[in-house]
Amino acid sequence: MTATAVDPWVELVGQDEARARLETAARAPVHAYLFLGTRGSGTFRAALGFAGLVLAEGLEEAGAERAITLAVGGKHPDVLVVEPQGASLRVVEAEEIIRAGLRTPVEGDRKVIVVTGIEVLEEAAIGKLLKVIEEPPPSTVFVLLAEEIPPEMVTIASRCVTVEFGPLSVIELERALIDGGAEADRAAVAAAAAGGDLDRARLLATDDDLADRADRWRRVPERLDGSGFMVAELVGELRAGMDQAQGPLEARQRGELEELEARVEQLGERGSGRAELVARHKREVRRLRSDELRFGLATLARVHRDRLVDRGGDDDESLSALAAIQESAENLIRNPNEALLLQHLFLRLAPPG
């Protein structure tokens, strides 16, 4: 592997074992890899770094540094990133992947196609994608990203070399936030609330209202009085807090849109990626609100677990509450209506009127 001063893992936190495997693999890559890890564990950053190493292999130093820099920045012409445009990776997107897999590289001997969310691939697209992943042209390397492998995806997964990424620890997240300039106290709170997700931890570290939102969720059990009025009031307050939580994300998205507008003014609209950016922003907002609900439900569950411990494990009310909260958390995968989900839960948690 060509030695360079450019770090392909500059955006990746932890995951030392995965880094070592990928550095070795980049010298003679096979046709397909599956990066398996929860969101925020670094699979996407690792995919771009790995793509840079693959494209840099065999180049002289200046060319290798350029390849890695462009790949890590998501700007190399021989690195294609395909993301689900909705709740699933559709047939039309699978066809885009197939066409890209068959195209000749723009610059060198290889191209890398990074596909995120492969676990939500539509069933009708599995057969289409399997053939090109199984037998791509020698110039194509696939990197598929998934949080888990459902049964219907086992065939595709079996055609790939799997590289696993564990969730980041609170200590790793806290250290990354402090290294990025966050205050120690704020970093500690954000790291604990992020669920192993670095992206969310960074967003929470800029969120002045995080502690207040956690307190609102903690106080839900004591405020429930059996009335529909109180349920409605609590749901309204918590959703307003979720609206506030979008503030840091919206600020970052505005910056990205302003950068895009500057490029459009300079280079023109064609190929600007405006539609893709707007679609990604919408997905990020949906994901943030889902994360906020998970954070709130986890906070609420801790209240009932603590109560259960205080009562020596003998508390049917707390056990029932925990079961209801768990059911609500599992239902989030179906993208439910926020208000209806919370109303249904709080009515179950409320004491008899």
In a domain, 2, yes or no: no
Assess whether pLDDT exceeds 80 at residue 323.
yes
Of residues 13 and 352, more confidence is placed in 13
Count of structural domains, the chain: 3
Nearest CA to 93 out of 110, 114, 76, 72 is that of 114
The DSSP annotation for 86-137 comes to: SSSB-HHHHHHHHHHHHSPPSSSS-EEEEES-GGGB-HHHHHHHHHHHHS--
How would residue 339 be classed by pLDDT, with cut points 50, 70 and 90? very high
Q: How far apart, in whole angstroms, are the C-alpha atoms of residue 125 and residue 20?
A: 33
In a domain, 105, yes or no: yes
Assess whether pLDDT exceeds 90 at residue 119.
no
* Dihedral angle computed from the Cα positions of residues 67, 71, 77 and 81, in that order, rounded to the nearest 10 degrees: 160
Same domain membership, residue 258 and residue 214: yes
In a domain, 1, yes or no: no
How would residue 271 be classed by pLDDT, with cut points 50, 70 and 90? low
In a domain, 220, yes or no: yes
In a domain, 201, yes or no: no
Of residues 150 and 33, more confidence is placed in 33
Same domain membership, residue 163 and residue 82: yes
Mean pLDDT, range 272-286, rounded to an integer: 78
Token pair for 153: 């995806």
Same domain membership, residue 294 and residue 188: no
Over the stretch 171-192, which tens digit does the pLDDT of each residue have? 888 888 898 888 888 888 788 7
Assess whether pLDDT exceeds 70 at residue 84.
yes
Residue 188 belongs to domain spanning: 169-196
Mean pLDDT, range 234-252, rounded to an integer: 89
Angstrom distances, CA of residue 178 to CA of 64, 196, 205, 322: 31, 16, 10, 34
CATH of the domain at 48: 3.40.50.300
Nearest CA to 166 out of 47, 34, 38, 291 is that of 38
Assess whether pLDDT exceeds 80 at residue 125.
no
In a domain, 4, yes or no: no
Same domain membership, residue 176 and residue 302: no
Same domain membership, residue 222 and residue 177: no
Same domain membership, residue 162 and residue 33: yes
Same domain membership, residue 157 and residue 38: yes
The DSSP annotation for 290-309 comes to: HHHHHHHHHHHHHHHHHHHH
Q: How far apart, in whole angstroms, are the C-alpha atoms of residue 57 and residue 24?
A: 11
pLDDT at 199 (0 to 100)? 82
Same domain membership, residue 162 and residue 23: yes
Half-sphere exposure of 220 (CA within 13 A, CB side): 32
Identity (one letter) of the amino acid at 62? A
Q: How far apart, in whole angstroms, are the C-alpha atoms of residue 242 and residue 289?
A: 6
Lowest mean pLDDT among 160-164, 242-246, 272-276: 272-276
Same domain membership, residue 261 and residue 191: no
In a domain, 60, yes or no: yes
The DSSP annotation for 179-226 comes to: HTT--HHHHHHHHHHTTT-HHHHHHHTT-TTHHHHHHHHHTHHHH--S
Decide if 185 contacts 196 (C-beta within 8 A). no
pLDDT at 239 (0 to 100)? 94
Q: How far apart, in whole angstroms, are the C-alpha atoms of residue 186 and residue 164?
A: 30
Report, in angstroms and rounded to the nearest whole number, the Rg of the chain calculated over CA atoms: 23
Q: How far apart, in whole angstroms, are the C-alpha atoms of residue 206 and residue 191?
A: 12
Mean pLDDT, range 205-231, rounded to an integer: 88
In a domain, 3, yes or no: no
List 224's β-bridge partners, or say none. none
In whole numbers, what is the pLDDT of the chain averaged over residues? 84
Same domain membership, residue 301 and residue 211: yes
Assess whether pLDDT exceeds 80 at residue 22.
yes
Same domain membership, residue 52 and residue 106: yes
Same domain membership, residue 331 and residue 215: yes
Judged by DSSP in three states, 31 sits in coil
